Amino acid sequence: MKNFFVSMFLWIPLLAISQNNIEGMVMEDNPGNKQLGLAGANVYWLNSQTGTITNTDGSFVIPFKKEYNQLVISYVGFESDTLFIDSPKKVSHWLKPSNALDEVVVQKKRDAVQKSYFSPQNVVTINSAELLKAACCNLSESFETNPAIDVNFSDALTGTKQIQMLGLTSPYLLITQENIPMVRGASQAYGLTFTPGTWVESIQITKGAGSVVNGYESISGQINTELVKPLTDKALFVNGYANLNGRLELNTHLNEKLTDKWSTGLYLHANRRDTKEDNNGDGFLDAPLGNQINVLNRWQYQNPSTGWVSFINLRFLNDDKQLGQTNFVPSTDKFTTNSWGSEINTRRFDTSLKLGYVFPELPFQSLGFQTAYNIHKQDSYFGFNEYNIDHESIYSNLLFNSIIGDTKSKFKTGLTFAYDGYGEMVNTQDYSRVDKSIGAFFEYSYDNLKELSFTAGIRVDNHNNLGTFVTPRLHARYMPWERGSFRASLGRGKRAANIFAENQQLFASSRQIRVLGDNSSIYGLDPEDAWNYGASYIQGFSLFGRTGDVTLDYYVTNFKNQVVVDWENPMEVSFYNLEGKSLAKSFQFEINYNVLKNLELRTAYKYYDVETDYLSGTLQKPLQAQHRFFANLGYTSLPKENGALWRMDSTLHSLGKQRLPNTSSSPEEYQFGDYSSPYSLMNAQLTRVFNDNFEIYVGGENLTSFTQENAVVASDNPFGTNFDTTMIYAPVMGRMFYAGFRYKL
């Protein structure tokens, strides 16, 4: 490994040769603005697959293509511009806000899902257009139309959707909000439901080891969510949603530009379900009763003359759930055998600050500071099991970006501090602890765009419970020919497993909980430690005058240590350190093709081989399909002058058989087979856009109405020894229809 890094750095002088590139910056056109760059702007050659995204300071580099001469620059909330370029040159361009530009410009619709050919990391960007293909009530429901993420139900009661990537569950993903760690610790089970879909501007999904800049916890990948910005979001946005199973939801955005430098947004979310559904007749709610109030106040500051930009967020959330038997009444039945029930109450407060400075005379050099504080309080009980957790978190990251020589060679370096205080009670057992860490990182990037780019990073962290450790990461990209891109990555991740917060569904069963550890300070268990490595290839193509792409990727996660969650005894669940091997292998083959001018087809096949050494032997991961097939067909009609159009989307998920935990020792009526049956799910949505301001949508989920039989084991005796709600491999709720509207001004 050491020799490989050395070899890469020795090749840099030979690779840094002259290239026919377009270099430049994209900036906001405001009075007096000279250097305020727009990060994340799209830059691409018209009618081609060649494009890139601007960096945090607005800079970009894109190879010059002599066969193209129209360079399109676009950014959300700004009017797209098309530049006519006939030779390599440096470009500085200012985009005007959408309400300030009246002339007609050449525009091209950007893909709702974007894959970069030039990034060394395997990143898929989902923008707001893709999120509109489904009801997308919260972040956990934002991945139904994308094959990079698998969505499963975690249990038979909470209705919570659990995401997986590369065959591993969400705790092995680093889930960030604008690159600040967000869904972790106490929020692992339900945290994805705390971000409403309408708040999301885009989602970046990174497969494999993430960047060292964002921390050491990423093992299988990273999901970063970018929220809508007060400056570029609509002044008023209202979204209403209702489904036939009793769920009602309302989202409202209010944005105001206060001065030339300050903008603010107030985002309100409320949802409620008070209808009791029990379509399978087992006496248990198919989906929980509940309500959520979620309020976000967001401030955006930018000073074009000095190069300062910042975001300040303040958020409060209250979420209540009631689940269990349909006749359960908390005021009379709590902690009694009258009826089995559960309540989960979560209160959460978040605040964060992002501060950035772009050096006016050195536009490719910047300084950034991120800090966040949140406090998460959850009080819950599941029958007679009580689980309460308070989680106070502080996170700070100081980051410096610059170049070495020219923009082909860049580096990032900085310091990270994190504090997590856990007050955790399982029945009468206290598992409280404090985690503190401080770390430093350095990341070097080389990019000649035409053929080769790579990012090599390393960080060192000192943690009071994990010790001092090093996490290196390497990503490389090579383009041997037009629209063909090879990628490879290698990296280490390390984390402390919060075994109860991450597996709360286990409390809703009669299983005895056993923690088989030593005297370690985190539940008596060693930290999880894994290496992830893999490769991918994307090839763009044209067929019958229509464009498409083919992607293949293969990743392996090799655990040096893992906290094994063992369900193989139906009477108990055990947590213990890995003794032996644990490998997660993932293969994906994906084809995307524009069948017609406005008709897009996306298909994918995925294969997982996730094998772990349990105390009882080597077994495949339970409740996971080894074979999965995905297809999405989307149609958008040509828009009229007032923006009116139709959108239609249909999605198919086919899952192969799943290994079920061993139930051979259970009474015969509560036994499952070795494997579940394969099944398919279909979702569809139809949207009518009447004009630029108003649209309505109707849709359906699980249109085949496939549901799992005996979803709640021993539902007739919930206080008996065989009661279990965790043996879930298929939906509990059948066909569901919904409708909604969106109004924006």
pLDDT of residue 449: 67
3-state SS class at 698 = strand
Comparison of pLDDT for 437 and 14, the residue scoring more: 437
What's the average model confidence in pLDDT over 188-194? 93
> How many whole angstroms separate alpha carbon 132 and alpha carbon 142?
9
Handedness of CA 17, 22, 26, 29 (dihedral sign): positive
Give me the residue label for tokens 């990461």: 473
- Res. 704: pLDDT tops 50: yes
- By CB atoms closer than 10 A (0-12, 13-18, 19+), residue 52 is buried
Angle at 149 between CA 143 and CA 155, to 5 degrees: 80
Comparison of pLDDT for 697 and 38, the residue scoring more: 697
What's the average model confidence in pLDDT over 521-526? 91
Mention every residue, 6+ apart, whose C-beta is less than 8 A from residue 245: 273, 275, 277, 286, 287, 733, 736
pLDDT of residue 16: 37
263 strand-pairing partners: 257, 300
Nearest to residue 235, comparing CAs of 211, 266, 213?
266
Question: Model confidence over 28-62: pLDDT tens digits?
Answer: 766 544 556 777 777 888 766 677 778 767 788 88
> How many whole angstroms separate alpha carbon 130 and alpha carbon 420?
35
Structure tokens that stand for 690 in this block = 């009447």
Give me the residue label for tokens 């199973």: 245
Burial 196-231 (b: 16+ CB within 10 A, else e): bbbbbbbbbbbbbbbbbbbbbbbbbbbbbbbbbbbb
Give me the residue label for tokens 């995204």: 53
Nearest to residue 202, comparing CAs of 131, 268, 260?
131
In the DSSP assignment, the letter for residue 527 is P
What's the average model confidence in pLDDT over 555-572? 96
- The pLDDT > 90 percentage for the chain reads 71
- Res. 582: pLDDT tops 50: yes
Question: Model confidence over 440-487: pLDDT tens digits?
Answer: 999 999 987 678 899 999 999 999 999 999 999 999 999 998 889 999
- Res. 547: pLDDT tops 50: yes
- Res. 590: pLDDT tops 70: yes
- State the pairing for strand pair 679-689/645-655: antiparallel
pLDDT of residue 114: 79
Question: Model confidence over 230-281: pLDDT tens digits?
Answer: 999 999 999 999 999 999 999 999 999 999 999 999 999 999 999 999 999 9
Model-level pTM? 0.86
Strands, DSSP E only, in 501-658? 512-516, 528-543, 546-561, 563-566, 572-577, 582-596, 599-614, 617-620, 627-636, 645-655
> How many whole angstroms separate alpha carbon 593 and alpha carbon 601?
5
The pLDDT mean for the chain works out to 89
3-state secondary structure 613-659: EECCEEEECCCCECEEEEEEEEEECCCCCCCCEEEEEEEEEEECCEE
Structure tokens that stand for 67 in this block = 């066969």
Structural domains in the chain, sorted by start: 21-95 (2.60.40.1120), 113-226 (2.170.130.10), 227-744 (2.40.170.20)
pLDDT of residue 85: 84
> How many whole angstroms separate alpha carbon 135 and alpha carbon 243?
10
- The pLDDT > 70 percentage for the chain reads 93
- Per-residue pLDDT band at 98 (split at 50, 70, 90): low
Q: Are residues 370 and 396 in contact, defined by beta-carbon separation less than 8 angstroms?
A: yes
- Res. 17: pLDDT tops 50: no
Structure tokens that stand for 204 in this block = 């970046």
- Res. 604: pLDDT tops 80: yes
Long-range contacts formed by 552-555: CB under 8 A, 24+ apart? 552/587, 552/588, 552/589, 552/590, 553/122, 553/207, 553/586, 553/587, 553/588, 554/585, 554/586, 554/587, 554/588, 555/166, 555/207, 555/208, 555/220, 555/585, 555/586
pLDDT of residue 519: 73
> How many whole angstroms separate alpha carbon 568 and alpha carbon 561?
20
> How many whole angstroms separate alpha carbon 238 and alpha carbon 583?
46
What's the average model confidence in pLDDT over 6-14? 39
pLDDT of residue 106: 36
What's the average model confidence in pLDDT over 542-558? 94
- Res. 15: pLDDT tops 60: no
pLDDT of residue 6: 40
- Res. 404: pLDDT tops 70: yes
- Helix, strand and coil content of the chain, in percent to the nearest 5, comes to 5, 55, 35
